[in-house]
Amino acid sequence: MIFSSKHKNLSVIAIILLLLANGSRGFGQISIRELKGGDLNTINTAVPFITIAPDSRAGALGDAGVSTRPDLSSQHWNVAKYAFMEEDGGLAISYTPWLRHIIPDINLAYLSTYFKPTNEQVVSGSLRYFSLGQITFTDIEGVIQGQFTPFEMAVDAGYSRLFTDHFSGGIIFRYIHSNLTSGQLVNGEESKPGIAVAADLGFYYQNDLRMMRNDASYAWGITLSNLGTPISYTSDDEAMPLPSNMRLGGRFDYDLDDYNTMSFILEFNKLLVPTRPIMEGDSIIRGRKDPQSIVLGMIQSFYDAPGISYDDGTYSTGFREELAEVMVSAGVEYWYQNQFAIRAGYFHETSVKGNRKYATLGVGMKLNVFSLDFAYLIPTNGQDSPLANTLRFTLGFDFESLKL
């Protein structure tokens, strides 16, 4: 069987075939000729959809969320923040038309909810559904054999609790299902859905202070996310790693007066996946061999970078490339009477690791138990980015008096 595209750029098919037909690990190897020829030494993983910012508030703050004020979508960013929610429970629904600049029918839907059975404990859950649009399958003669809508989904269950009045922690268990080809043959092998299980671990701290006679507060958060089993799409295909990552950051809030509040957020994110070594033939000349253990791979991801190549044939230190693997998110949020918000942010990824650079804008409003948020993405990398004109919408509801 082969694929043909309906209402869609053929790049989607190419991505699917690359995921399924590539026999190497996602973090694999790169040749010295490829790297010196200008190819990016990116870190490749399976199911990258679970790293996409699903909600409008974080999407408007440059994809910052691990240390922002607790909200209904904390499940994705830092489950520990739920312990500081004032309401007894809530529900949020988010929708993102994805890559609409080049493909019309890809979208991400996200549902998150939480419930506080006691003042110290919270249970939470979420469902993420990523649709790749409709694809038509044909045989080699072009006869239509059927249609299929590739999709990926993740289901989470979380628990968090207060340890002190200012500090909380939480854990999430995640089931991931990635069905990209509906069992079609790829290189003579029958494909299958990729299945994985993973976990997140998060911690969050917040406290109040006084500054220049006004109220202020600060917070920090850290998460280890998507720590789990690798994914394989065929019986003889080597498994690809999940996008395990570490995110940490801080926030500072300042009350300008009784009605106006400003928040400033800065966060850092790094994939805990090994960097591809530079090969010459079968020999590694820079970097390190891929470890066979997931845990060892996470540890090695902090010191295995081979170094950035320059046009003159020289390389940077490995430490410099390790720094280049850190993505930065910065955001500013203004609230008026905790009812109307204006947000702006920026996301930065170095050119050798993917070159995603974009500014974000957004607004939000909260009326009693109802909230509505909107975000807009503006690429700044000087290219015709597929992320251009990305919109996000989030609708939220708070529930009160739900304690048992």
Counting Cβ atoms within 10 Å, is residue 354 exposed (0-12), middle (13-18) or buried (19+)? middle
pTM score, whole prediction: 0.86
Q: CA angle, corner 52, sides to 49 and 58, nearest 5?
A: 160
Helix H segments across 6-88?
Answer: 11-21, 32-36, 56-60, 74-77
Residue 340, both tokens: 């109307």
Q: How far apart (Å, rounded) are the C-alpha atoms in residues 54 and 393? A: 9
Q: How does pLDDT run along the chain (404 residues), one tens digit per residue?
A: 344 444 444 444 444 444 443 333 333 444 333 333 334 678 888 999 999 999 999 999 999 999 999 999 999 999 999 999 999 999 999 999 988 777 778 899 999 999 999 999 999 999 999 998 877 766 677 777 667 788 999 999 999 999 999 999 999 999 999 998 776 666 667 778 899 999 999 999 999 999 888 999 999 999 999 999 999 887 766 788 999 999 999 999 999 999 999 999 999 999 999 888 877 777 777 778 878 778 888 888 898 888 877 776 677 788 888 898 999 999 999 999 999 999 999 999 998 888 899 999 999 999 888 999 999 999 998 767 788 888 999 999 998 755 54
Q: How far apart (Å, rounded) are the C-alpha atoms in residues 273 and 193? A: 22
Which residues are CB-neighbours of 46 under 8 A, at least 6 positions away?
A: 19, 26, 178, 194, 196, 230, 231, 240, 241, 242, 243
Sign of CA dihedral 44, 50, 52, 57: negative
Helix (H, G, I), strand (E, B) or coil at 235: coil
The domain spans of the chain are: 2-399
Cα separation values, 280 from 27, 274, 303, 321, Å: 17, 19, 21, 20
User: What count of other Cβ atoms lies within 10 Å of the Cβ of residue 280?
Assistant: 11
**28 sits in which H/E element:** none
Q: How far apart (Å, rounded) are the C-alpha atoms in residues 149 and 145? A: 14
* Residues, the chain: 404
Q: How far apart (Å, rounded) are the C-alpha atoms in residues 401 and 135? A: 47
* CATH architecture group of domain 2-399: Beta Barrel (2.40)
Closest CA to 87 of 340, 341, 332, 371: 371
pLDDT tens profile 329-388: 999 999 999 999 999 999 999 988 888 999 999 999 998 889 999 999 999 987 677 888
